Amino acid sequence: MKNDGFFKLAVIVGVISWMAIFAFVPNVLVFLASFSSTSSANFIEPGFSLNNYARLMDTTHLDILLSSLRLSGLVTVICLVTAYPFAAILARTRKPLRNTLLLLVVIPFWTNSLVRTYAMTAMLNSSGIVNNVLLFLGVIDSPLAMMYTPGAVVLGLVYTLLPFMILPLYAALERLDRRYLEAARDLGASPWRAFWKVVVPLTMPGIVSGCMLVFLPGIGMFYVSDVLGGAKAMLLGNFIRDQFLTTRDWPLGAAASVTLTVLMGLMLLLYWKSAARLGRKEA
């Protein structure tokens, strides 16, 4: 009993201090840095100004932000639309086959996603597999320029992030009691209406967490944009990385980081608010 208590304490203290040192403190530092200024001598001159945030409101920066949100939104929609049917089928498949399919979803995680992104270039470049196959089949006459386009970035992001959509959706759909669906059909709902009135609302937690897990990383995954999209900074992640590593404007990068974090926080808040309002309306 006593040992048990010690173990519990050790785990809790361990996790809390880990989070404090590697998550909370760095975030506080970034937050503080976003109000500082920079000079040729130091990356960061302590102080308080909102200058960095004002600089972010500049149209070029806003464009990056908006295009980044758009791109990530598109990726999220594509992931949701492709993952939902797959997860639904997965949830209904019988045990041995289902485990195999789940394994196939998880296998890509075993390889570093940067390596996998480079592997995508072998598929997409002008002498890549896709072009070769299309040329061989006579579908095209000359190689398509697929690399270094927004399309390639979207494809790369979808490829990397799809499992993060599938897994929470699968969990939600697998837990969904089939009797709810039967009850809806029994009460006169067509399969389509039963899906919208019963299945979607009941799997909403899975849909939301899947979208969060895809949309939020999608904004920041700068290396996918780097490798497949070329030098153009298409994601907010690229912009932030550039401020820290290339332009060496740490305060601006920090301000962009904080903005992104606040944006994500606002979105979560919005979801909770709307969910709560929905609940109140019904309650």
For another protein, the binding residues (CB under 8 A) are 177, 179-180, 182-191, 193, 197-198, 201-202, 282-283
Q: Least CB distance from residue 160 to another protein, whole Å?
A: 32
Q: Least CB distance from residue 188 to another protein, whole Å?
A: 4
Q: Residue 58 or 182: which CB sits closer to another protein?
A: 182
How far are the Cα atoms of 207, 243, 276 from residue 191, in angstroms, in the given order?
19, 51, 28
Left (φ > 0), alpha (ψ -120 to 50) or beta: where does 138 sit?
A: left
Q: Residue 105 or 176: which CB sits closer to another protein?
A: 176
Q: Least CB distance from residue 219 to another protein, whole Å?
A: 30
C-beta of residue 51 within 8 angstroms of C-beta of residue 178:
no
Residues 6+ apart with CB under 8 A from 113: 160
Q: Residue 58 or 186: which CB sits closer to another protein?
A: 186
Nearest to 170 by CA among 73, 82, 89, 81: 89
Q: Least CB distance from residue 124 to another protein, whole Å?
A: 43
Q: How far is CA 257 from the centre of its chain?
A: 16
Q: Residue 116 or 185: which CB sits closer to another protein?
A: 185
Q: Residue 6 or 196: which CB sits closer to another protein?
A: 196
Q: Least CB distance from residue 243 to another protein, whole Å?
A: 44
How far are the Cα atoms of 78, 149, 181, 278 from residue 104, in angstroms, in the given order?
19, 28, 28, 37
